[in-house]
Chain A
Amino acid sequence: DAGVIQSPRHEVTEMGQEVTLRCKPISGHDYLFWYRQTMMRGLELLIYFNNNVPIDDSGMPEDRFSAKMPNASFSTLKIQPSEPRDSAVYFCASSKQGFANEKLFFGSGTQLSVL
């Protein structure tokens, strides 16, 4: 099993540009999560999907952020326009069935730097 795959691994962009982060969850997992990690705030849940449907997007900071999951094997997190304060590591994670004791499998993250 290849695990959760995220791309790109690093992204450097200028303020105002559109940024798209990509994630391929583990096959058979029906929950997908997007997290943001910063020194100040730690790990924050941005949004999660169940069977490709967004369940809770209350963590999405602003309308500049949007996420989609067009099918069971692909999700994107888009920031438009990007700002320097969006600089962070963005993690995608997936899990099966969402039971309380199921573990999350994390990708290696995308390090985003907005100049």
Chain B
Amino acid sequence: EVQLVESGGGLVQPGGSLRLSCAASGFTFSSNAMIWVRQAPGRGLEWVSSIRGSGDTTDYADSVKGRFTISRDDSKNTLYLQMNGLRAEDTAIYYCAKDRWVIPTGRFDYWGQGTLVTVSS
């Protein structure tokens, strides 16, 4: 059974940092592209970042470029999102999801339950 479990969310002050983790199981983690998607309270979904199965290609939304870094450790079956320079508008539930293929195709077939990040003083 495929499982994605996010962790690392919490309350952080503006300008602070957090590192989110997404522990994967039930599939060959290295064979799948992974993404982070966020959802601000009462708002819609926003793609944040993606990484290929090979880990050699990453992409970022303009809203987080230069502040967030996506990475993966295939030996630990874990996806990460390092978030620096956090702003109030980064407050959201952060979901990780897997793509069916090694490069992102939009077939995000499994999602975690999400972890809440709150940026506030």
User: Do A and B truly interact?
Assistant: no
**Residues of A bordering B, CB below 8 Å:** none
**Residues of B bordering A, CB below 8 Å:** none
